[in-house]
């Protein structure tokens, strides 16, 4: 049966490889699992892949045709993407999903041992770190890339880790061992503990006229309701705190337990405090600026402290 008829029955629409994989002068044909032929050069494959180098170095059977055909495990679409990442003269094409990107790199790096792809693979995966940090973490651990695993783990701190448990089982969990997943959960837990500290005490910051709510607490006849406990600052123990600011810190404390690197300046986080602040004639005059300044300092503090938490990986 001809290759053409195979293609007609196996792909919709039929896949036809474009240049440079249609070169009639090529000396080997890679036949995809669905019957499409890619005409390529052995020397190029050998330079890129120890797998092919070893294969072409083996003694060839005497009846071997001048241009041998190698059956490949990948479909035509996947094989085309794989080759276009690195084959001379080929234009790379975008891979639409993270799962497909993962599968492509799995073939290139694990099956065909193309280690030179690794820096490129990491760059591609980094584009997904913000949107799919846990999936990128899983892929990085699969390949034992500590640098990318750390970046992805840190990025995952901005979302509640337990959301993973509430959604359908994602395919990338297959890339993680139970030990690796435990490392990620443990990292989240330790980072959450660290991130919550500066919202339960203010001992990490000096009290000043710039402190949110200081207008009220210094007046003596508070306009704002104030918190039912006193708070310690680095330079001033046992000071009162206006209720809207104390409430903001307590809500943050709860949020940071699930998302240690949640965006502290997002409307979801700030809106209630701003509304309550605006009800006070004294606080509202400069409360927003002070709260914004405090938020910047808090973010820097949490970032610093989380950087000191080690992600324990056993590879």
Binding flag, residue 214, Zn ion (CB under 5 A)? no
Mind spelling out the 3-state secondary structure of 83-140?
Answer: HHCCCCCCCCCCCCCHHHHHHHHHHHHHHCCCHHHHHHHHHHHHCCCCCCHHHHHHHH
Residue whose CB is less far from Zn ion, 262 or 280: 280
Binding flag, residue 282, Zn ion (CB under 5 A)? yes
Residue whose CB is less far from Zn ion, 85 or 244: 244
- Quote the CA–CA distance of 145 and 285 in Å, as a whole number: 51
- Quote the CA–CA distance of 52 and 45 in Å, as a whole number: 6
Q: Which among 176, 202, 188 is positioned nearest to 314, based on CA atoms?
A: 176
Mind spelling out the 3-state secondary structure of 6-70?
Answer: HHHHHCCCCCCCCCCCECCCCCEEEECCCCCEEEECHHHHHHHCHHHHHHHHCCCCCCCCCCCEE
Q: How far is the CB of 167 from Zn ion (least distance, A)?
A: 42
> What is the size of the binding site for Zn ion (CB under 5 A)?
6
Choose the stretch contacting Zn ion; rule: CB under 5 A; options: 1-9, 230-238, 282-290, 306-314: 282-290
Q: How far is the CB of 211 from Zn ion (least distance, A)?
A: 12
Binding flag, residue 280, Zn ion (CB under 5 A)? yes
Q: How far is the CB of 253 from Zn ion (least distance, A)?
A: 21
Q: What mask of x and - would describe binding to Zn ion in positions 164 to 203, judged by CB under 5 A?
A: ----------------------------------------
Choose the stretch contacting Zn ion; rule: CB under 5 A; options: 6-14, 40-48, 82-90, 208-216: 208-216
Binding flag, residue 224, Zn ion (CB under 5 A)? yes
Q: In a 3-state reduction of DSSP, which class is residue 202?
A: strand
Residue whose CB is less far from Zn ion, 107 or 223: 223
- Quote the CA–CA distance of 189 and 184 in Å, as a whole number: 9
Task: Give how far Cα 224 sits from Cα of 212, 221, 252, 293, Å.
Answer: 12, 9, 20, 20
Choose the stretch contacting Zn ion; rule: CB under 5 A; options: 11-19, 167-175, 260-268, 281-289: 281-289
Q: How far is the CB of 282 from Zn ion (least distance, A)?
A: 5
Choose the stretch contacting Zn ion; rule: CB under 5 A; options: 39-47, 140-148, 209-217, 230-238: 209-217
Q: How far is the CB of 256 from Zn ion (least distance, A)?
A: 25
Q: How far is the CB of 251 from Zn ion (least distance, A)?
A: 18
Q: How far is the CB of 216 from Zn ion (least distance, A)?
A: 3
Q: How far is the CB of 280 from Zn ion (least distance, A)?
A: 3
The DSSP annotation for 136-201 comes to HHHHHHHTT-HHHHHHHHHHGGGS-TTHHHHS---GGGGGS-HHHHHHHHHHHHHHHHHHHHHHH-
- Quote the CA–CA distance of 65 and 62 in Å, as a whole number: 9
Q: In a 3-state reduction of DSSP, which class is residue 296?
A: helix
Residue whose CB is less far from Zn ion, 110 or 278: 278
Binding flag, residue 216, Zn ion (CB under 5 A)? yes
Binding flag, residue 283, Zn ion (CB under 5 A)? yes
Pairing outcome for strands 37-40 and 28-31: antiparallel
Binding site residues, Zn ion, CB under 5 A:
216, 223-224, 280, 282-283
């Amino acid at each position: 049966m001809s290759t053409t008829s195979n293609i007609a029955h196996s792909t919709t629409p039929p896949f036809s490889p474009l240049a440079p994989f249609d070169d009639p002068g090529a000396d080997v044909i890679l036949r995809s699992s669905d019957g499409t032929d890619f005409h390529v050069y052995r020397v190029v494959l050998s330079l890129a892949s120890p797998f092919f180098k070893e294969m072409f170095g083996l003694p060839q059977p005497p009846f071997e045709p001048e241009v041998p055909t190698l059956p490949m495990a990948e479909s035509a679409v996947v094989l085309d993407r794989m080759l276009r990442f690195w084959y001379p003269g080929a234009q790379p094409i975008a891979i639409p999903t993270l799962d497909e990107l993962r599968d492509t790199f799995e073939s290139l790096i694990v099956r065909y041992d193309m280690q030179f792809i690794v820096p490129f693979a990491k760059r591609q995966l980094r584009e997904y770190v913000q949107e799919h940090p846990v999936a990128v973490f899983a892929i990085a651990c699969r390949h034992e890339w500590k640098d990318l695993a750390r970046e992805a783990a840190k990025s995952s701190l901005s979302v509640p880790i337990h959301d993973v448990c509430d959604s359908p089982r994602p395919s990338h969990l297959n890339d993680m061992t139970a030990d690796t997943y435990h490392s990620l959960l443990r990292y989240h837990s330790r980072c959450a503990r660290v991130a919550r500290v500066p919202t339960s005490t203010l001992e990490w910051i000096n009290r000043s006229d710039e402190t949110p709510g200081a207008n009220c607490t210094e007046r003596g006849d508070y306009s704002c309701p104030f918190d039912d406990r006193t708070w310690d600052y680095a330079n001033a123990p046992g000071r009162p705190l206006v209720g809207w600011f104390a409430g903001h810190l307590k809500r943050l404390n709860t949020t940071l337990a699930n998302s240690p690197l949640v965006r502290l300046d997002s409307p979801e986080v700030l809106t209630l405090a701003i509304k309550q602040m605006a009800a006070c004639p004294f606080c509202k005059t400069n409360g927003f600026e002070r709260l914004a300044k405090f938020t910047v300092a808090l973010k820097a503090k949490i970032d610093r402290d989380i950087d000191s938490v080690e992600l324990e990986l056993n590879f």
